[in-house]
Chain A
Amino acid sequence: MYIDPHIHLVSRTTDDYEAMRKAGIVATIEPAFWLGQPRTEVGSFKDYFSTLVGWERFRASQFGIVHYCTMGLNSKEANNVPLAEQVMELLPLFAGKEGVVAIGEIGYDDQTEAEDRFYRLQLELAKEVNLPVLIHTPHRDKKKGTTRSMDVAEEHQVDPGWVVVDHNNEETVKEVLDRGFWAAFTIYPHTKMGSERMVEIVKQYGPERIIVNSAADWGISDPLAVPKTAHLMRKMGIPEEHVRLTTYQNALTVFGLSGQMDENDWLKAPSIDQTKKLGGNSVLRGGQVPRVEGPADRVEN
C-alpha cells in the first residue's frame, strides 16, 4: 500500500486513477495550488476549493482511492493582493471541512512582500484551526527560500513536527531534518528529484521524517512516481520498513495529526453505493487489504 501525499488530481485522467489503484495507491492528498494560469475572480477559488472537497473526492472514490486535500492560497497568486485578501476570507469556510488535512501549499515563490504577508497569515490560520502545514519551497533561490520558510514558521511558533517542507533536494534536506521539520521530495521526470537520487537520499539520511510524493499535475509528471520509487528502493536494497515509512507511514503520521486522516478510511472503507451497505453485504476484508471498488460504483457520464 502507498500514499501519494501530494498530487493534483483535478488534472489527471481516469486512466491515471486506474493505474494508481493497480499500483497500490490507497490514499492521496491534493494540495490546493494554482492552475497553470492565474485566477482573476474569487469565485474561481471558491469553486476550486469546492471541487477539492466535492467532485474530485467522489471521482477518486470510484476508483477505490481515498482523497484528502489541503486548503490554502498558493504563493504565486498571493501576489494579486486584492484577490488574495478575498481568498483569505474564504479559507476559514473550507479549512474546517472533513478530509482537509493541512493548510497548504503555502510559502514563497518570488519571495515578495505580498507572499510573505499571506504566508504568515496562513500560518496563523493553521494554528487557529489546529492543522499541519504544507510548505511549497520556491524553484528559484531555493536554498535561501527554504531556510526562510522555516525561519518564519518558527517565528510564528508553529511546531516543526507539524510542518512538511516540500520539494526538497540534496541541498536542502539536511537543514530541514536537522531543524525537526518533515522533508518531502517530489519525484519529477525532468526537474526536481529523480527516483535514483531519492534512493541515495534515503540511504544517506534513513527513513525518519522523509516523505516521497509525485506532485503530478498538468505538467510533465508521473502519477506512479511513489510506487515506482518504492520499487527502485527495494531493488537497491533499502529495507522494506524504510520503504514503508517513506512511501506510506510518514505521510499518514504527519497529516494524521489533523485528525482527518485514518488508516481505517481505506482499510474499512464503506462502499460509495449505500444500497450495498444496507443490503447487508460485508465490505470488510481480512487483514491489511483495502477494499477494491468495482465498476458497479462508477457513474456513467
Chain B
Amino acid sequence: MASDIEIKSFLRKIIENRAEEKSSSWLGQKAEQTESSSSNSTFFLAFSQASRFFKKENLELSTEEKDQARNLAPGFDPSHWDLLQTARTCLLLHFPQEKEKWFTAINQLFETGDMYEQQALYAALPVMPFQEELLSRAIDGCRTNMTLIFDAIALNNPFPAKYFPEANWNQLVLKSIFMQRPLYRIQRLDERRNPALADIASDFAHERWAAGRDVMPELWRLVVPFINEKFVADLKKVLASNAQLEVEAGLLALYGCESEVAKQLLQGHNEEVMAIEYGEITWEKIGRDFQEKKA
C-alpha cells in the first residue's frame, strides 16, 4: 500500500476537481485542524458536517483515476464513491495514526455514525491503517440490514477477500445473495469460492424453488469449480427455466465446469455458447441484467 500521504493527495485532487472552491478550502482547513488538534471533537464535527459542503454525487472517475487508485492500494476501487464520502475519508486519513488514540476515535465514529458516515467508514477500510485489527469491525458491519452499509463492505472493496476467514466470507457472499446484491462487484469472488459455499448456495436455491421463487442467476457462479451430480441436477433445472437470464447463467456455469456431463449439457445451445466464447455473456453481464430487471 502507498503511504497515507499519497492516498490523501490523490483524494484531495479528486475532490478539488469536482467540488466548489469554498468546500475544498473548508476541507483543507478542517484536515489541518484534525491533524493538529488535541481534542477529537474538531474531527468528529468536521466528519459530520462534511455533508453541508459535499454532495452525494458519484465521482464519475476517469479510467486514469481508477488506475491510480488501484496503484495506491491493491484492489482500492472508489469508482462507486460519492463526493461526500471521499471528503470524509480524506478527513479520516488526516487524523493522527497513533494506534490507541486512533481506535478510540474511530470506534466512536463507527458507534455513533449515521447511515452515510458508516458507509464512508466501511468503504475506506482498504486505505485505513491497522487493517488486521479492523477485521472484527468489518465482520460486525456485515450484520447490518442497511443496504448502503452492507454494500460499502461487500462490494468493490478488497477488504473481505483479503482478511475474512472462510466462514465469515461465506456469510458475506450468502447475505449478498439474500439481499440480491450484485455478486460481480465482490472482489476476488472466483478465487475465494469453496466447496462449503457452493453447497450452501445450492441449498439456498432449493429453498427458493420450494417456495416457488426465482433464484438469483449469479448464484450459479459459485458451484463451477466443484461440479458434482447434485450441482449438475441443479443446473439442468436452471436450463429448463423460461427466463433467458437464468438459462444464460446455467450455461455459463456449465461452460466453466471441467466435466463431460457439463459439456454434453451445452449441446443444443450453440448460439449462447458462441456468445460466451465471444465474451458477450459474462457473469458481470448477467449480474447487471439481473439488477436492471429487479429495478
Contact = CB atoms under 8 A, between A and B. Distances in A.
A279 B56 CA distance: 16
Nearest to B146: A58
B28 to A, nearest CB: 19
A274 B80 contact: yes
B111 interface: yes
A274 B80 CA distance: 9
Contacts, number: 75
Interface in A257-284: 259, 270-279, 281
Main secondary structure of the interface of B (DSSP, over half): helix
B115 interface: yes
B218 interface: no
A275 B182 contact: yes
A103 B48 CA distance: 16
A91 to B, nearest CB: 11
A54 B179 CA distance: 18
B56 A270 contact: yes
Contact of A273 (B41, B111, B147, B178): B147
Contact of A300 (B111, B148, B178): B178
Interface in B42-59: 44-45, 48-49, 51-52, 56, 58
B114 A99 contact: yes
A281 B151 CA distance: 19
B114 A54 contact: yes
A278 B292 CA distance: 10
A34 interface: no
B58 A278 contact: yes
Given A49-B112, A53-B114, A54-B118, A96 B48 contact: yes
Contact of B147 (A54, A272, A281): A272
Interface string A13-54: 000000000000000000000000000000000100110011
A55 B117 CA distance: 13
B145 interface: yes
A58 B51 contact: no
Contacts of B136: none
Contact of A54 (B49, B58, B113, B151): B113
B295 A275 contact: yes
Interface in B225-246: none
B118 to A, nearest CB: 7
Given A272-B147, A274-B80, A278-B58, A92 B41 contact: yes
Nearest to B84: A98
Contacts of B49: 96
B156 to A, nearest CB: 11
- The listed residue with most B CB atoms (<10 A of its CB), out of A49, A93, A99, A270, is A93
B141 to A, nearest CB: 12
A273 B295 contact: yes
Contacts of A220: none
B291 to A, nearest CB: 5
A120 B87 CA distance: 35
B48 A98 contact: yes
Contacts of B295: 271, 273, 275-276, 279, 281, 296
Contacts of A46: 111-112
Interface in B115-148: 115-118, 145-148
Given A54-B118, A93-B44, A270-B56, A275 B148 contact: no
A53 B145 CA distance: 14
Given A58-B115, A58-B145, 11 more contacts: A46-B111, A49-B112, A50-B113, A54-B113, A58-B146, A92-B41, A93-B44, A94-B112, A97-B117, A270-B56, A299-B145
24 contacts: A46-B111, A49-B112, A50-B114, A54-B114, A54-B115, A55-B146, A57-B115, A58-B145, A58-B146, A93-B48, A94-B112, A96-B48, A97-B117, A98-B48, A98-B51, A98-B116, A259-B52, A270-B56, A271-B295, A273-B295, A276-B295, A281-B292, A300-B179, A301-B145
Interface of A: 46, 49-50, 53-55, 57-58, 92-94, 96-99, 259, 270-279, 281, 296, 299-301
